[in-house]
Structure 1
Amino acid sequence: MNPFKALLSARGRELPAPVPAGSPAAEVTGVGVRLGRRQVLDSVELTIRAGEVLALVGPNGAGKSTLLAALAADLPVDSGEVRIDGRPADAWSAPELALRRAVLPQSAALAFPFPVEDVVRMGRAPWAGTAREDDDETAVADAMAATEVTEFAARPFSALSGGERARVALARVLAQRAPLLLLDEPTAALDLRHQELVLRICRARAAAGDAVVVVLHDLGLAAAYADRAVVLHGGRIAVAGPPADVFTDTLLGEVYRQPVEVFPHPRTGVPLVVPNRAS
């Protein structure tokens, strides 16, 4: 088959081509978002690159989840532009967009008691009718193994604990195999072991060439696993760069309105952020 025709063969959908490491997977240019009377994002500029883990951090209300929703094209912007895979996000059809980005929201609720394996399989829906549909079984099995949910594949999703639901929801996103992963607080309901597991998965996906954007409240996790951290404050980017460069006592203390101490881990050198409780 002609390669160009192959890209359009799946019900008229253009399949995503691989993005070279370091190339933009998504871009945010001058983005502003208002919710009611509140300016939640203001003139945000950001490039997300293939092969990196980018952490969005900042206090409650800083605009992290709103920025992630705008990146996903789930929330319209009032100004500026979001581009995914080189094209304005709103120029992609919904099926084409689903091939390019996978989104993990903060909460995962289902109205029906689907078995866990069926929930994970929902992530494969965008590939129905494409040449990559043949990957469904492998993608589902791999995602469940990575998130350690295989052992309860047959259990109803509604019968799971909060942490188990969070891991199943992540497995669904991983099974989608989109090159841009947008994860909103994926560690919030998890124990220590599974927090580390999720961030190791993020690193593995970046190593495989995906772009991963993850909203985190745990600055230690962001410092340990992110290539870049974006610190949001009042709807704007206060600073962006490698965590070792941007996580400073002064900046974090001002943004979070809580004195902190930042010092390198004695063995790894990764920044450790500790509240200064004596102040």
Structure 2
Amino acid sequence: MNIIQRNFFRLIRSGAFNTTEHIEPMSVYKWERLMQLTIMHQVVPYVYEGLQRCKNQFFLKQTDYQWREWLKLKQDAERMINDDEGDEFLRADHLTNPLLNRQLQNILDDEHSDTISRKLLLLILRIVRHILNEGMPVSQLVELGRFLQNEGEHVDKDVFRKWISKLKLSQMCQLEGEFLVLLFGFKKDDVFFLEDKQNKHIEEIAQELIDFTNTRSQDWYFSQDSDSIFVHNSNTTAMFSHVKRSARYFRYYPSESLTNFFASFVHSLSHIEE
């Protein structure tokens, strides 16, 4: 990771998980880039809290204007929290594979199952949806980490493991757990579903997801000009990148990855005017 991304994750760790972090010196321009990264990944409140915790460090230099901008961004983010419904396609309470989705709905409809365990399952699935379609789900990973810290001990672990086995989610859970360790400093014992095996390519995967997010994955959607009957793709390179990514993550969730790609393709057609 470059210095901007390293400081970005340090500030998130400090703000969201109360860790002690040491910020590397950056130019005003790089701090502006970090601000853009923060907005893009929708983690303004966490980064702002991290800035407050680290503001007395010698290398954390912000101009008065930048501090005012950070405060404004934080206030705006707090106001928008309840207004942002997100993309309906990324809902965590459904899967694109019909068989897996039936299993999921049976789990969610079971009124006797543990509410906290179901909430954890939905957090896991929300991240899966973003990994397959949007890139690195930083804000969702932060939510997962905070949930495990605050509610992890109340999860029915045996039942949860049965669920992820039914939904073929074991490898995706492992990937998400390794992201928590790599990006947010979690220990293996903090993530009960994390197994001993370690993916030697985890840093490469994380960087790829971050870079893909930064290209704005929506660019591969199809659209139609208002004065034309022809349909076109807004970014052909982004589309082929999406195809390659779908192939790459096939190994982590083969039963969902293929159907997800075709479902996202159909979803992209909704951007075309009737």
User: Does the pair score TM above 0.5?
Assistant: no
Higher strand share: 1
Higher helix share: 2
TM-score (norm 2): 0.31
TM-score (norm 1): 0.31
